[in-house]
Amino acid sequence: MQAPADFVPNAIGPHSVVVHRRRWRAHLAAVGGYVLLAVVFSWPLPVHLQTHLTGDPNSDTGVYVWNLWVFQYEVLDHRTMPYFTDRIFRATGRANLSLHNYTVFANVLALPLARPFGIVATFNLVYLLMTVVTAYAMFLLARAFCARDTWISWLAGAAFAWSPVLVTRGMGHHSLVAAAPLAVFVLLLMRLHEQH
């Protein structure tokens, strides 16, 4: 069996460098487009990051802001496990938060931002970031189904991340806005299946 004429094993030629650059540009353009959509769909939140929230602070949104605050309080200020706190139920000792809807991934992302930007701005920045990550994760999954068609994949990411159900949940149920793991899980299952 003879290899194709343009086949050079383990070589990086000018053609492969160009293809690699195009792929990176496509991914960067997709993320840039999603950042722009995040700003547009959340407007006027980006100009009120320090003072406004996506939902009523007296409802579930306030709980998620508290989650972010208590997580950084326990980790940064007290250097303790963030799954226990004395900030609530003080008379009973440290409350166990292990079964609480805690959004650990978002709280970890927020750790370096909380002190320089404040809790409200950090909460909003992480919310916007999670919408972008969710869109990008669906973009990656859609590319597997769309013969790597960048435009169709980009639209799939936008349609998923800013679907009515996720936008509505953004007004209070922030754990549901972080839907990127759904697309990533399916993509990983597909890759695992391809390897076997």
pLDDT in tens, 43-94: 998 999 888 888 778 888 888 888 888 889 888 888 888 888 878 877 777 8
Residue 128 has pLDDT above 50, yes or no: yes
Q: Which residues contact 171 (CB under 8 A, 6 or more apart)?
A: 54, 55, 61
**Count of structural domains, the chain:** 1
Q: Report d(CA 138, CA 74) in Å as an integer.
A: 33
Domain containing residue 72? 15-195
The label of the residue with tokens 């250097």 reads 79
Mean pLDDT of 145-170: 88
Query: What pLDDT shows up at residue 161?
Result: 92
Residue 51 inside a domain? The answer is yes
Q: Does 94 fall in a domain? A: yes
Asked, for residue 7, whether it belongs to a domain, the answer is no
Q: Is residue 50 in some structural domain?
A: yes
pLDDT at site 6? 44
- With 80 as the cut, is the pLDDT of residue 5 above it? no
- Whether the CA torsion 178, 183, 187, 192 is positive or negative: it is positive
> Does the residue 43 lie in any domain?
yes
pTM attached to this predicted model? 0.80
Does 64 map to a domain?
yes
Tell me, yes or no, whether 9 lies in a domain. no
What is the mean predicted confidence (pLDDT) over 95-110? 83
Q: Which of 68, 77, 54 is nearest to 107 (CA)?
A: 68
Instruction: Identify whether 82 is part of a domain.
Output: yes
